[in-house]
Chains A and B, each alone.
Chain A
């Protein structure tokens, strides 16, 4: 069968247009400023996303999330850090060793650090476990802080410690869903830190197994045991609203902050 020149031209045009691609909608990005991370997420975290940063102990969760806030503060954004695992004084003492951190950012109110214990006291949450009303008032308190200060970057370190006070999975799910939705509505990009015991292939990426399904993104930090030496890694497992690399990256906590490079493919046996 012979095709007319017009038909062939039309097919050619269609192929050409397909190759060019139609203009794609891309979401605004929150530039983390962390070495390598914006390349991994192809331009930054989608604006307003709530990202779970799950990691084993000593894997660099606090440094990474604090650096995320520092870069925001450097661009004049108001940032909030909710410390649930260690007192803010201790946290700031530890983070001061990094050259990227400047105590002036705290003094100027660009980085606002809150002790969760103090927040609980404000709200009168003295019980060992929280019920739905307690959770609602906690979400409201966080939202009020975000609104009042105009927070655009937020970290809760860790959401695991906070969720230990919530007695069942359904309430944890509701809490995270409501919190994520509210923060996104306020245009606040958030990192929720989760403590995990293993970052291997068969491990859960969150402490309770419910967080990972609800939140917009999951970043895992862990260690690879290479002949008895622990090598830190970061992997972006999920990030809604952006194409992203899912490879493992070796990370190093330098005085200038987190630095990363692709992990050698022949050396990626994890725990």
Chain B
């Protein structure tokens, strides 16, 4: 059983619904950081939301979240990985929708907006995991443009957005844009960028 980072939960009590969080983590603690963020959002604040999984297949995330006691019923997953793996979409979960590739950035945004429209919860979040996974497929300036659109779209809709990034592996211009657009920072990165 992993031990969740309680300071993240404390930090989340101070943010507003239209905030955009930059969540910096290291390559070894990414899952711990995202879990520590989701747990209070679901269990404490009774929020629902969309989890965009570009780093790893959603079924794997669901299994692990369930194992550590995070209920996933109020989370809709937009899985950008499994479609590329033949057989990856064969699983029992009904709360996953698939996007063919992380290069379909607009589709990811539209699919997320669609799920948010159907959310029964009043307060919702969107987690983008992660900028680094998107950067594998997308050109730097397109990714910067996308994050600008992404963050502002959800801020305008009073949806809490959290963008997960490993700073030392993120293109500098993308990181600079995140610094500019995000309203809050959860910093658990291994490298501190001044």
Offer 9 A-B interface pairs, CB within 8 angstroms, sorted by A: A231-B106, A231-B107, A250-B107, A252-B106, A254-B110, A255-B114, A260-B110, A265-B145, A266-B141
Query: Which one of B16-24, B47-55, B97-105, B124-132 contacts A?
Result: B97-105
B contact face: mostly helix, strand, loop, or mixed: helix
* Pair count A-B, CB < 8 A: 54
Contact of A252 among B110, B117, B142 (CB under 8 A): B110
Please list the residues of chain A having a beta carbon within 8 angstroms of any beta carbon in chain B.
226-227, 229, 231, 250-252, 254-256, 259-267
B103 touches A226 (CB 8 A): yes
CB distance from A246 to the nearest CB of B (A): 18
Q: Which residues of B contact A262 (CB under 8 A)?
A: 149
Q: Which residues of A contact B62 (CB under 8 A)?
A: none
Q: Which residues of A contact B137 (CB under 8 A)?
A: 227
Please list the residues of chain B having a beta carbon within 8 angstroms of any beta carbon in chain A.
100-101, 103-107, 109-111, 113-114, 117-118, 137, 139, 141-142, 145-146, 149, 153
A250 touches B100 (CB 8 A): no
Counting chain A CB atoms within 10 Å of each CB, the highest count among B106, B111, B113, B141 belongs to B106
B110 touches A226 (CB 8 A): no
B106 touches A250 (CB 8 A): yes
B106 touches A254 (CB 8 A): no
Taken together as a complex, chains A and B put the C-alpha atoms of A262 and B148 apart, in Å, by 12
B139 touches A252 (CB 8 A): no
A267 touches B142 (CB 8 A): yes
CB distance from B64 to the nearest CB of A (A): 28
CB distance from B149 to the nearest CB of A (A): 7
